[in-house]
Amino acid sequence: MSFGVGTEMPEGLDIPVPDGGTVQTSITTSDGVMASLFYDQGRYDEIIGFYEDWTASTGDDWQKQSFDVSSDGETIRTTMWLPDEGNNAISVADCPGAGTETTEFNSVCVSVSQGG
């Protein structure tokens, strides 16, 4: 288990992540593998497209759920994919950048988990 900006990706993770992200969490257990990364906020739509393409190409049935929350003139977007079978999950959301002192939602956080 590793936490902190610049942590290495866990071994054995088959769910891909887009290039150019900074790893903030890497977990490997007997039950599976998990990683979370953050990206520049301007890449949100690109990352959504990346996972749209990938989930469509796996041959599995993935269910997509998206929602937005607006507060004080700011909108926070979240999109998740869950397969019909298995213990995998993908989440893409607006978030504060890891390793910064800001609470502004100025980054895109990606979390992927793969059950064992």
> Lowest-confidence range among 7-16, 50-59, 75-84?
7-16
Give the integer Cα–Cα distance in Å for 8 and 26. 7
Give the integer Cα–Cα distance in Å for 78 and 80. 7
Q: Where are the domains of the chain?
A: 2-8+33-115
Task: Identify the bridge partners of residue 83 per DSSP, sorted by sequence position.
Answer: 62
Give the integer Cα–Cα distance in Å for 91 and 10. 17
What's the pLDDT band for 1 if we cut at 50, 70, 90?
A: low
- Per-residue pLDDT, 9: 86
> Does residue 104 carry a pLDDT above 80?
no
